[in-house]
Amino acid sequence: MRRAGLYDPRFEHDACGIGFVADAGGRASREIVDAALAALNRVRHRGAVAADHRSGDGAGILLPIPQSLFRDWAQRAGLFPSAPLGVAMAFLSNEPGDDGNRQRQQFRQLLEAACRQEQLQVIGWRVVPVEPEALGDAARRSAPRIEQAIISTAEGGGAFDAEARGYCARKRVERAIAASRLRGYLASMSFLSLTYKAMCAADQLAAFYPDLRDPRFIAPFAIFHQRYSTNTAPSWERAQPFRMLCHNGEINTIQGNINRMHAREGRLGSDSLAPEAVLVPVIDETGSDSAMLDNALELLVQGGRDVRQALAMLVPEAWEGFDVDPGLRDFYRYHACLMEPWDGPAGLVFTDGVRVGAALDRNGLRPLRYAVCEDGLVACASEAGAVDLGGHGLVRRAKLGPGEMLCVDPQNGGLQENEAIKRRLAAQEPYGRWLDEQLHPADTGEPAEDIPTDLVARQAAFGYTKEEFTYVLRPMASQGKEPIFSMGDDTAPSVLAQSPRLLYSYFKQRFAQVTNPPIDHLRERLVMSLRTYLGPPAPLLYDGPAAARLVQLDSFVLYPAGLEALRSLEAPFTSSDLDATFPVADGAAGLQAACERLARDAEQAVRAGATILVVSDLAASQARAPVPALLAVGTVHHQLMRRGLRGRTSLVVETDEAREVHHVVCLLGYGAQAICPRLGLASIEALASAGHLKGDAGDGRAAQQRYVEALEDGTLKVMAKMGISTLDGYQGAQIFEIIGLDEGLVEFAFAGSRSPLGGATFTDLGEQVLARHATGFGAASPSLVSPGFFKHHKQGTEYHATNPDVVDALHAAVPAQEAAAPVKATAAALVNATGAAAKEMSAAHALQRAVATGPDGNGYPSYERFARLVNERPPTHPRDLLAIRPGGPPLPLHEVEPASAIVRRFSTGAMSHGSIAAEAHETIAIAMNRLGGQSNTG
């Protein structure tokens, strides 16, 4: 599905039932297939159906190719291949008539040509038998024509060699489809495994595909999946399993994973697999987050890595804060140099076509239970009891813990549990020696006592305010924590603000929701990490000591001394400074010109060999104005992405602008890997030196350390509320929504971010930068202002929706002594209520009475004043810009349906208990009961 209006497929979520059934000895049987289909039926409750009660969210099964079934087909077609057959499961256009025939034929020709390029041969096309009456109406209407291309190897080679060539052929087909905009999708294309899936409920899958009931359809294992589309529209393509895995959960870091995979394109190190042009784009962005994880796993496995190693790279366990085996720690440390985590709650079932297994994310937020039977049957599922174990002898039951893995490998002893798998992974290579020889641990530096002579001028030019020191910076330096504010912000969005605000304020942090839990950064600190790497990352498919040749920092926050130490490193850690300022004389247009220059300079520096770029606004002065740090970072990051150079360098920011937690998480989210908040540190030193910090006695060093601790702790908290555990998973993930920036500007510097509204342009931002610059470097005696961004005050310029005038008017309209008696429907509730609850209910009835009594009632003039203050306020929300379009001449009342009948069709949206308070649920229910409408509690 494509983006349209406010709909964006990137924000779809799902929750699923998953599992596998396998024979530990690799013996193929019909019993395995039947057990998997029965287990799939038992997790049917994990899915949902459409209004026709039959079209499901999607269900599927993935299993090894039953060679006997397809050889029988080939022999009936007069074909007698000697090598094992491969099968491509193709979903073709269902368009009727000549146009549909043309599209289907074009797809077949594309696939056959791609196979020839990989020395494979399509020996025939098999129309997959289906029974459409098993589906619901919606699924039947959208059902593709399903065919299987039967493929043989045109020359010698093993099964895994043929598998790699089949993968490359499929990538060629996908590129051609994307270029031609044909409708076509390959659910699987392999010499080892085959996927049957449909937009149906679990118990309809075998009824729809007669193949799954064929006695010849035997397998040593089978993976099953029932999809639940939490807030998505079901589709045939998004049903699971995919080609190598099925997934229950969310990938919270997905945008960053996509961006970083794009950054690697151009130097994947794929020479032994295929020319890189065949493999890119690695990630198919039309798929779900689960499908994209499948894309990444495929590349790593086809590139030569064991499937267990590849999955441990993508979804590592929490190794940073736990006491794990030193060899295993080295394994994870080494692979962290190559791949950032695909982080989020995840239950995974995987296969490479020979082995089958399961794994959990580092937090273990999606359950997987397994059972091992005496006769070798191994069953794993998201629910206990999904697989019938009767008749298989004694059973040992267990569950996977956080970060654990299970695998059935018939070629190497059968069942392998977590400890054995991890031991094997750790012993594959001398990872510890490689790290000792290549990895360069670096220090973030020590606090400095330097205070610039033009401190106040720089503070004013970079938008510091008096209230920011009072409410934010002093508490950070005193307590080592980000200050806590009330939920919500009653000021206008930045694009509507009466006083210009910094660019960071246009970016709103997203958070985990729907089926996706946030984590507690205090309780779960052991699974979290702020580790970051700088330097030239090795090609993804490379496996050797040079991959560890990076600079490692334990935190992203650098003191000036730490930054200078980075600048002094020798090759291969060559740094280059990028000036993020522009001449004041250039006017507002100078900002866009400076960004375009930054983009060019960054590209040239990387091509010249710079592996650490330092974006710096230190040159800001009376003659030069700073480019907003977030705009500078986004510009450089996305320019290098567009040029295929981002994977060759690291991005460090030296800025006088960023000083709050939200500022640094924005910079990290748009590509920064380390940040030196130079003026923020100097400002804390100045506060301590002046004695403005309680208990510090002028100890600026301790104050700076607490300030850095506050930045780090606040960053962990922001990551945790999105369910992300590691900084390298958050970097470049762009987990923000932009409110009020021009579309062209967003595409230039923040491409891929959700931005539902237009707004400020380069010129607008340039004018704001110059206005701030003038208050600092342009003033004879610069001083800081208090516009009232954090708290309303009389001298402030920023309007607050709940300012004292509005609150006073509301109180005047509903004085406590005039609280009306409750209506009969809620009399008992009010009688039983006590304390604050009684006062709130009483006030609500008083407001209702004030409005209902009309102009002659005692409360109406006060209510009228309150309503006027709200209705005539400056635009504070986007909705304040809307006007109701005239509806034409009024109709006589007798022609209009009465309000009492209209409101009976009202219903409230479903929100689960816990997402809003019990009081809110009850209040909504009371209101809808009074109206005669419907209250959906979720």
Beta strands 575-579 and 612-616, pairing class:
parallel
Task: Tell me how far apart the terminal alpha carbons of the chain are, to the nearest angstrom.
Answer: 26
Instruction: Give the three-state DSSP class for 86.
Output: strand
Given a cut of 60, whether residue 826 has pLDDT beyond it is no
Per-residue confidence (pLDDT) for residue 134, from 0 to 100? 94
Question: In this structure, what token pair is assigned to residue 779?
Answer: 């003033």
Q: Which residues pair with 396 in a beta bridge?
A: 372
* pLDDT at residue 668 tops 50: yes
Beta bridge partners of 87: 150, 190
Residues 917 and 864 occupy one common structural domain:
no
Residue 598 belongs to domain with CATH number: 3.20.20.70
157 or 292, which is more confident: 292
Q: What is the mean pLDDT of residues 630-640?
A: 98
Please report the DSSP string for 114-151 in residue order.
Answer: HHHHTTEEEEEEEEPP--GGGS-HHHHHHPPEEEEEEE
Could you give the CA distance from residue 18 to residue 357 in angstroms, rounded to a whole number?
Answer: 12
- Specify if 494 maps to a domain: no
At position 743, the amino acid (one-letter code) is E
The pLDDT of residue 922: 87
Q: Are residues 243 and 319 in the same domain?
A: yes
| One domain for residues 552 and 675 | yes
pLDDT at 52 over 80: no
Residue 260 lies in a domain: yes
d(CA 589, CA 415) in angstroms, rounded, equals 66
- Is residue 479 situated within a structural domain? no
- Distance in angstroms (rounded) separating the CA atoms of residues 637 and 649: 10
pLDDT mean across residues, the chain: 90
| Residue 379 located in a structural domain | yes
- What is the SS3 assignment for 923? helix
Q: Is a pLDDT exceeding 50 seen at residue 830?
A: no
Number of domains in the chain: 4
- Catalytically active residues are 16
Residues 287 and 417 grouped into a single domain = yes
- Residues 65 and 165 grouped into a single domain: yes
pLDDT tens sequence across 348-390? 999 999 999 999 999 998 999 999 999 999 999 999 889 999 9
> Are the CB atoms for 337 and 239 separated by under 8 Å?
no
Which tokens is 203 given?
């118990």
Beta bridge mates, 395 = 373
The two structure tokens encoding residue 369: 């239970």
Predicted confidence (pLDDT) per residue in 728-785, tens digit: 999 999 999 999 999 999 999 999 999 988 999 999 999 999 999 999 999 889 999 9
pLDDT, tens digit, for every residue of 708-732?
999 999 999 999 999 999 999 999 9
pLDDT 10s digits, 701-711 = 999 999 999 99
Convert the pLDDT of each residue in 496-554 to its tens digit: 998 999 999 999 999 887 667 788 999 989 899 999 999 999 999 999 999 999 999 99
Q: How confident is the model over 758-769, as pLDDT tens digits?
A: 999 999 999 999
Q: Above 90 in pLDDT, residue 828?
A: no
Alpha carbon distance 748, 456 (integer Å): 33
The whole-number pLDDT of residue 518 equals: 84
The confidence score (pLDDT) of residue 552 equals 98
* Residue in the structure block whose two tokens are 């850095």: 708
Q: Which of the listed residues 417, 438, 459 is the one where a domain comes to its end?
A: 438
Q: In the predicted model, is pLDDT for residue 11 greater than 90?
A: no
| Residue (of 502, 501, 469, 482) closest to 682 by Cα position | 469
Please give the residue that has the higher pLDDT: either 455 or 911: 455
Q: Characterise 908 by phi-psi region: left (phi > 0), alpha (psi -120 to 50), beta (else).
A: beta
> For 277-300, what is each residue's pLDDT tens digit?
999 999 999 899 999 999 999 999
Q: Token digits for 107?
A: 């797809």
Between the alpha carbon of residue 488 and those of residues 157, 491, 499, 711, 844, the distances in Å are: 63, 9, 19, 21, 22
Structure tokens at 822: 């409750």
Which residues lie closer than 8 Å to 539 by C-beta, 6 or more apart?
A: 264, 267, 268, 269, 270
Lowest mean pLDDT among 594-598, 681-685, 719-723: 719-723
Task: Examine the domain organization and report whether 866 and 908 are in the same domain.
Answer: no
Comparing CA positions, the residue from 138, 242, 152 lying closest to residue 195 is 242
139's torsion region: left (phi>0), alpha (psi -120 to 50) or beta?
alpha
Is residue 157 pLDDT above 80, yes or no?
no
Q: Is residue 846 part of a domain?
A: yes
Give the separation between CA 110 and CA 808, rounded to whole angstroms.
72
One domain, residues 585 and 708: yes
Above 80 in pLDDT, residue 838?
no
* Mean pLDDT value across residues 248-262: 92
Considering the domain architecture, whether residues 928 and 877 belong to the same structural domain is answered as no
The pLDDT of residue 649? 96
What gap in Å lies between CA 206 and CA 131, rounded to an integer? 10
**CA pair distance 678, 275, nearest whole angstrom:** 45
Q: How far is CA 525 from the centre of its chain?
A: 20
Those residues whose C-beta lies under 8 Å from the C-beta of residue 775, and which sit 6 or more positions away, are 460, 461, 782, 785
The alpha carbons of the chain give a radius of gyration, in whole angstroms, of 31
Residue of 743, 699, 926 whose CA lies nearest to 833: 926
Cα dist. 884→641, 868, 879 in Å?
44, 17, 11
Q: Give the least confident one: 326-340, 558-572, 640-654, 834-848.
A: 834-848
Q: What is the pLDDT of residue 814?
A: 74
* Mean pLDDT along residues 677-685: 98
* Domain identity same for 248 and 361: yes
779 inside domain: no
Lowest mean pLDDT across 75-84, 188-197, 856-865, 874-883: 856-865
87 shares its domain with 230? yes
Residue 496 lies in a domain: no
> What is the C-alpha separation between 240 and 288, in angstroms, rounded?
10
Q: What are the distances in angstroms from CA 187 to CA 60, 91, 113, 140?
A: 10, 7, 19, 18
Task: Give the range of the structural domain holding residue 555, as residue numbers without chain letter.
Answer: 504-762
Answer whether residue 443 is part of any domain: no
Q: Examine the pLDDT at 843 and tell me if it is beyond 80.
A: no
DSSP track, 406-431: EEEEGGGTEEE-HHHHHHHHHTSS-H
Q: Is 923 exposed, middle or buried (0-12, 13-18, 19+ CB in 10 A)?
A: middle
Q: Are residues 16 and 112 in the same domain?
A: yes
Q: Is 7 helix (H, G, I), strand (E, B) or coil?
A: strand
For residues 422 and 531, membership in a common domain is answered with no
CB–CB of 280/236 below 8 Å? no
CATH code where residue 322 lies: 3.60.20.10
At residue 9, does pLDDT exceed 60?
no
Predicted pLDDT at 272: 87
